[in-house]
Structure 1
Amino acid sequence: MRRGSLLDISGLRVIFHTYRGTIKALNGVELWLNEEERLGVVGETGCGKSVTALSVMRLIEQPGEITEGSIWFNDKDLLKISEEEMDRIRGKHISMIFQEPIAALNPVFKVGFQVAEAIAHSQGVTIKDAYPQVREALEMVGLDWQRTIDLYAHELSGGMAQRVMIAMALAVKPKLLIADEPTSALDVTIQAQILELLDKLVTVSQSAVVLITHDLGIASEFCDRVAVMYAGNVVEIATSEEIFSQPLHPYTKGLIDSIPVVGRSKELVGIPGVVPDLVDPPSGCRFHPRCKKVFDKCHAELPSLSQVKPNHYVACHLYQ
């Protein structure tokens, strides 16, 4: 049964073949999203957030491989359609803002051409016919369009490059926007400006958003729901309000307890241990080597993501 009206990821497994062995990057990811909803995906570096996003875009390339699962978008399983059909969806109905904006832009073409190319692809028109819409797209993100269209990627600041990426992603009015750490490379002041801009534009365009971030504060402010990932699994999903006020999974509790809060005298508590090596991940629940509440079943069996309260799902044997 479909759980989200727009997007439903079920049992997604992705591996990468390397000289060290096979990396089990995603281990049966479960995620879903409704139209115009905002979902935050949080977790430590290396937990599979970006790999999940690239899987939705079907941009996993060798040595990577999607081995199992389904990604339903509207009424189509994106893993079963042809590359030609996926190309019509990618950049038109699903857009992505990449983590490193300057690296994501083509260094040999001017900004104006690249924005026009994105618009032309989504509308099925020539790049020349798309050029009149470039001004509107750049002004939408607060850039001086006359100056910006003739610049190359290396001539942009980090904030400008991110605004160009947002313009390219949202000019096509996608049903789904995937934003992969859109503020990670920016200073704090520019971060706030970019998030405020993104908030305003997705509201106007009525796009659903998957926001990938390691910053729990950003997720709590921007998103309706939050999914917590650990070592290739989604371990908890709930509304933003509930996941911060009543976290259930030991990993989620550990993440929240490690956030410094102004005025709080309580000593910060870190999560012991390190993220496991996914070439040889732990058996059973991948978090059990770091968990304070581990018991025998955790070593042997991977917990499934189950609903324990209304709209609150957790993958933990403590609740099953």
Structure 2
Amino acid sequence: MSAVEPEIAAALAALPVIDFADPVAQRAAFQELAADPVPPDPRVSTQDHSVVRPDGSHLLVRSYRPRELSGALPAVMWFHGGGFVFGSVDVDDFYCAELAVRAGAVVLSVEYRLAPENPFPAGVEDCYLATCWAAGRPADAHWDGARLAVAGGSAGGNLAAAVALMARDRGGPRLALQVLLCPAVQGEGREPSGRVYERATSVVVPEDNPHILRHYLGSTGKPVPRYAVPSADDDLSGLPPAYVLVAGLDYLRESGAEYALALDRAGVSVELHLVPDVPHGFDAIAITAPTSRRTIAEYCGALVKALGQPATSTAALP
């Protein structure tokens, strides 16, 4: 096996120690990553939107729009990762700006509620609500709700897959594409075969899974509720096309690949990409690394193809 790319290895080593047993401490550690002021990305304009939940509370959605483009652009819903217990719109600011520029689209990042304080289905219902809101916005919103995709990494990949299922089942927005990056689509009872996954190169390891599920599922018990674990759905037909990315050093690699194959067997158009010798979430951890740049360009290309907006990458990372 080749060594991990130096820039990715360095970024991985700089991350806080992962401990899903204590989500509150974990959340605080990762929030420090967004605590230092970062100059706004000049390539995009940002705006915070407030979406009203059925109970009257408010959900934050932050939009990122490429400044060099005009007219009503397609939109990409972005659901951040973090094991359902940490992560935020602020942490993903730089990544979402890059995604908007590369995809030539408005990216809409959702500050969904986190477990364990707000277990399933709070987070996924927030993501679905935001998606319906984005699809129904008027023409002056500067994005085209009829050209809409969902995307997410890790836990966010789970949420993107679940929103695609919910939209199908509830007669919700028509989605052009679901982009699932190192998605956490598998529940308990699944162990990867033939490899040892260590924290130093894997970010998350199999021992984290029981903690993540306990926090996210709360007291819902078994069987696992629909939309909590997309791979458990016994009918994956009628879903939007999918782009599924899995990482060679990720213990979620096999379950993500299996989900892609299950979609294919159900008649869904799927692109499955395996990137060798990289850890879980490598593209967000080290966004400027050569492998990350190439991979981001590839899945943004899939978004451009699905949404119909020409790519504008001249202002993207060198």
TM-score, normalising length: structure 1: 0.30
TM-score, normalising length: structure 2: 0.31
Q: Which has the larger radius of gyration?
A: 1
Structure with greater proportional strand content = 1
